[in-house]
Amino acid sequence: MSGTGAPRVVVVGGGLAGLAAAIGCADGGAEVTLLEGRPRLGGATWSFERNGLHFDNGQHVYMRCCTAYRRFLDRIGSAADAPIQDRLAIPVLKPGASGGEPVVSWIRRSGLPAPLHLASSLLTYRHLALADRLRLGRAALALRRLRLTDTALDAETFGAFLERHGQRPAAVEALWDLIALPTVNVRADEASLALAAKVFKTGLLEESGAADLGWARVPLSRLHADPAAAVLRRAGATVRRRAKVTEIRLAPASTDSVGRRRATGVVVDGELLEADAVVLAVPHESAAELLPEGAVIDPTALQGLGRSPIVDVHVVYDRRVLEHEVAAAVGSPVQYVFDTTESSGLDPAHGQCVAVSISGADDEHGQRPAVLIEKYTTALAELFPAARAATVVDAVVTREHAATFRGAPGTRRLRPRPESGVGGLFLAGAWTDTGWPATMEGAVRSGVAAAAGALRALGNERGAPRTTEELSEEVVA
Ligand SMILES: Cc1cc2nc3c(=O)[nH]c(=O)nc-3n(C[C@H](O)[C@H](O)[C@H](O)COP(=O)(O)OP(=O)(O)OC[C@H]3O[C@@H](n4cnc5c(N)ncnc54)[C@H](O)[C@@H]3O)c2cc1C
């Protein structure tokens, strides 16, 4: 306990999981120290400045059904900076034949209840032959019937499931992968059915508004890191950047009631920082190195979660080339493209900034920026005729080699719960067992769950404000 009698919680890692855990613990009355190894907070969500404009490390999107993430945005006062569409509406473009106008078809929801809300859009989806459109319902209904608690779902790929339910490769490429790839970060033929089913059931098949999209209109660091740091400061928490933890220290003998060893603190900059509870909210590869013996069954097995890259190509044009806030593409290397003019700070009178987001970017992440810029500006010109006459004022490539774990079959059993086998040590991170793929929602959920676990273990629920309690109930249930 601290001098004030409040329990001391150390949170290791300042990504969304660590920020959510730190805020949850501070809201619950703990004395919190957040340790982040890098000079900045925000983890996998960050921004940088170049020639006076702001760019994100990669476009980030969430859905209306991302309830924990939305509450986190509310808590840090950022919700208005990442508004959600009134109704899901995404134009899907295909390059026109012989350089002609692109073919556009929309994925949008109607006012009907789920799953009928998407029916008219899918029945008129021009990028699929009528026979393929008519088959979509069969797989959608089969997905809707799956039980997410069924562990067998993680033994099969989403692609194999789609094939079993009559989906031809054309339908996988032009429709199912439009959703599976950016959410699970691998294509359907590699994705775990469990993770894809979570996204499709929760996002598209059960609630009509669940998949309405939201994204930031300010740089990500301004959306997450800065306001979260301010909340922590106001709550009296200590935030240390450039503070890389090298060890989790345990008490020499079993001290807890069930015979587990107890975490007593962490080593940072060669010094022991004592704590009554530790939340480890680092990526799985760092966790594998830091976890003390007994915390999880086999820390080395965490490496089996693998990694999947995301690459973004950001292009600044001298004029407006993209009429939509967001568009998807088929028959093109472009997967999704966003108008980022507002968040970049570019005056729309002087041009347009767009970000092409490439998930599952195994082929792209090793390529030279100049090659990627050439490839994607050419692809953008095929999709958006206005880009053909425009001048590229600047372009930059962001590459995240380990953007997420690789959401393949067999990963579920590798993802640990927040409670570890060491007393007072809790795990968080988008890679832990949240049921979600590696997403902002998963990260925040894991942080809230770890905070709830730590507060419960410290017997400190009495002081927890209602919002923290509600979140904990929802997340831990
Ligand atoms: C380019 C890109 C695009 C993405 N797009 C989307 C999207 O559209 N929608 C979506 O929902 N998700 C998206 N994601 C995934 C999402 O960003 C992540 O799942 C989430 O942010 C992970 O949060 P986290 O806190 O679990 O981990 P991280 O953000 O990785 O945070 C872990 C932190 O721990 C720190 N750390 C590591 N070791 C130590 C140590 N020893 N001591 C102290 N600190 C340490 C790290 O520096 C890091 O800051 C995307 C990710 C990337 C990279």
Query: In the Cβ-directed half-sphere of 182, how many Cα atoms lie within 13 Å?
Result: 20
Q: For a ligand 1 pocket test, name from 34, 358, 439 the mutation site with the most ligand atoms within 8 angstroms of its C-beta.
A: 439
Coil, strand or helix: which one is 53?
strand
What pLDDT shows up at residue 412?
95
Q: Percent of the chain having pLDDT more than 70?
A: 95
Taking alpha carbons only, the member of 71, 69, 78, 88 closest to residue 210 is 88
229 lines ligand 1 (CB under 6 A): no
User: From CA 70, how far away is CA 334, in angstroms rounded?
Assistant: 28
Beta bridge partners of 354: 315, 339
User: From CA 274, how far away is CA 2, in angstroms rounded?
Assistant: 10
317 lines ligand 1 (CB under 6 A): no
User: From CA 447, how far away is CA 441, in angstroms rounded?
Assistant: 10
Domain residues of the chain, as ranges?
Answer: 8-45+220-304+409-476, 47-65+78-83+214-218+307-404, 111-211
Does 258 have pLDDT greater than 90?
Answer: no
Q: Which two tokens stand for residue 170?
A: 């054309």
For the chain, the distance separating the N- and C-terminal CA atoms, rounded to the nearest angstrom, is 29
Listed in sequence order, the residues at least 6 apart from 459 whose beta carbon sits closer than 8 Å to its beta carbon are: none
Instruction: Report the alpha-carbon angle 170-176-180, nearest 5.
Output: 135
- Write down the residue that tokens 């970060």 correspond to: 185
- Using 50, 70 and 90 to split pLDDT, how confident is the model at 460? low
CA of 390 to the centre of ligand 1 (A): 35
What pLDDT shows up at residue 128?
98
User: From CA 121, how far away is CA 164, in angstroms rounded?
Assistant: 24
Listed in sequence order, the residues at least 6 apart from 359 whose beta carbon sits closer than 8 Å to its beta carbon are: 181, 182, 185, 308, 310, 335
Q: Domain 111-211 is of which CATH architecture?
A: Orthogonal Bundle (1.10)
Mean pLDDT throughout 176-189?
98
DSSP string, 330-385: SSSS--EEEE-HHHHT--GGG-EEEEEEESS-TTTTTS-HHHHHHHHHHHHHHH-T
Taking alpha carbons only, the member of 407, 335, 434 closest to residue 158 is 407
Does 461 have pLDDT greater than 90?
Answer: no
Does 414 have pLDDT greater than 80?
Answer: yes
Instruction: Report the alpha-carbon angle 51-57-58, nearest 5.
Output: 120
Model confidence, pTM: 0.96
Does 467 have pLDDT greater than 50?
Answer: no
Pairing of strands 271-274, 392-404: unpaired
Helix 177-184 with 193-200: angle, nearest 10 deg: 110
Listed in sequence order, the residues at least 6 apart from 473 whose beta carbon sits closer than 8 Å to its beta carbon are: none
Q: For a ligand 1 pocket test, name from 282, 305, 308 the mutation site with the most ligand atoms within 8 angstroms of its C-beta.
A: 282
282 lines ligand 1 (CB under 6 A): yes
More reliable by pLDDT, 257 or 446: 446
What pLDDT shows up at residue 296?
87
Tell me the helices (H) and strands (E) count for the chain, helix number first.
16, 19
Does 2 have pLDDT greater than 80?
Answer: no
Pick the CATH number of 47-65+78-83+214-218+307-404 from 2.60.40.10, 3.90.660.20, 1.10.3720.10, 3.40.50.300: 3.90.660.20
Instruction: Identify the burial level of 356 via C-beta atoms within 10 angstroms of its C-beta, where 0-12 means exposed, 13-18 middle and 19 or more buried.
Output: buried
CA of 378 to the centre of ligand 1 (A): 31
Q: Is the peptide bond before 115 cis (omega within 30 degrees of 0)?
A: yes
CA of 200 to the centre of ligand 1 (A): 23
Q: Domain 8-45+220-304+409-476 is of which CATH architecture?
A: 3-Layer(bba) Sandwich (3.50)
